[in-house]
């Protein structure tokens, strides 16, 4: 099965004979009809490897995506919380959905967005899709911290040369640092009481492969991949 495609019609084997030939002809006709309507395959991608260790979010490219149609790169969805329990509840709901055999990337991304998960933005505060554009790079990192901006970089770069990532706040016209106040009133990416400096903030992160099909004008995703890790910081405001 070609990389990045699922749902190819199953092969049908029948006994030889007039009824069998008639059945086979009908099956072939149905397969051709589905193919002509574009329903025989569904474009999707493989989730990347996604881990958290030593303050680093590490996303590793899945090689099968490199040859998939319309593949562009990877995005990271996140949400911040003042409650560890609330964070775990939302994170596990998405993890369980992604692990369900009946789930699709679209249903999982819809769930992320229904729970107000946001996409991490670049240092200019722009939502350029995807955050990590795939080229020859296979590994991407984000350095998390309680007291300094979060740089992101590729496997060939050192952390000090990385650009920073920023929060997704629709009410702000400027980039918003991850080490800033989290407001219960205005922040799209936060659930909980407004923070003061030194208060613990809990985070959930999911990595998603992303592409865009210009022929159907539709987004294409992988299932989201969790770090399966509790992540929190006593945020020290800039």
Instruction: Say if 69 falls within a structural domain.
Output: yes
Q: What is the pLDDT of residue 9?
A: 33
Q: How far apart (Å, rounded) are the C-alpha atoms in residues 151 and 179? A: 12
pTM score of the predicted model: 0.81
If one counts the domains in the chain, the total is: 2
Do 28 and 103 lie in a common domain?
Answer: no
Task: Count Cβ atoms below 10 Å from residue 197 Cβ, excluding itself.
Answer: 13
- Whether 9 and 112 map to the same domain: the answer is no
Query: Do 14 and 107 share a structural domain?
Result: no
pLDDT tens across 186-223, in order?
A: 999 999 999 999 999 999 999 999 999 999 999 999 99
Same domain, 71 and 187: yes
Contacts of 161 (CB under 8 A, 6+ apart): 153
**Is the domain of 13 the same as that of 86?**
no
For 138, which DSSP code?
-
Residues 118 and 200 in one domain: yes
Higher pLDDT, 160 or 123: 123
Note whether 149 and 201 are same-domain residues. Answer: yes
Residues 31, 107 share a domain: no
Q: 178: which 2 tokens?
A: 């991850």
Return the pLDDT at 136: 73
Find the domain containing 192 and state its range: 47-234
Residue 112: pLDDT band by 50, 70, 90 thresholds?
Answer: very high
Choose among 175, 190, 173, 188: nearest CA to 238: 175
In a domain, 41, yes or no: no
**Per-residue pLDDT reduced to its tens digit, 84-104:** 999 999 999 999 999 999 999
3-state secondary structure of 132: strand
Q: How confident is the model at residue 126 (pLDDT cuts 50, 70, 90)?
A: confident
């Amino acid at each position: 099965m070609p990389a990045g495609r699922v749902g190819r019609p199953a092969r049908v084997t029948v006994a030889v004979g007039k009824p069998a030939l008639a059945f086979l002809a009908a099956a072939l006709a149905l397969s051709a009809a589905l193919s002509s309507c574009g329903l025989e395959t569904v474009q999707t991608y493989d989730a990347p490897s996604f881990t958290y260790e030593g303050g680093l979010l590490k996303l590793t490219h899945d090689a099968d995506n490199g040859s998939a149609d319309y593949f562009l790169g990877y995005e990271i969805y996140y949400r911040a919380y003042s409650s560890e329990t609330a964070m775990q509840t939302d994170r596990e709901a998405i993890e369980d959905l992604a692990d369900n055999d009946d789930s699709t990337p679209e249903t999982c991304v819809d769930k992320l967005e229904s729970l107000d998960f946001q996409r991490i933005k670049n240092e200019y505060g722009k939502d350029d899709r995807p955050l990590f554009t795939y080229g020859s790079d296979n590994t991407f990192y984000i350095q998390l911290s309680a007291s300094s901006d979060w740089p992101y970089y590729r496997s060939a770069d050192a952390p000090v040369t990385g650009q920073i990532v920023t929060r997704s706040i629709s009410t702000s016209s400027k980039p918003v640092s991850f080490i800033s106040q989290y407001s219960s009133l205005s922040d799209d990416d936060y659930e909980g009481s407004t923070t003061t400096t030194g208060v613990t903030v809990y985070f959930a992160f999911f990595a998603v492969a992303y592409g865009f099909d210009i022929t159907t004008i539709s987004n294409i995703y992988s299932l989201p991949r969790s770090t399966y890790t509790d992540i929190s910081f006593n945020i020290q405001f800039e």
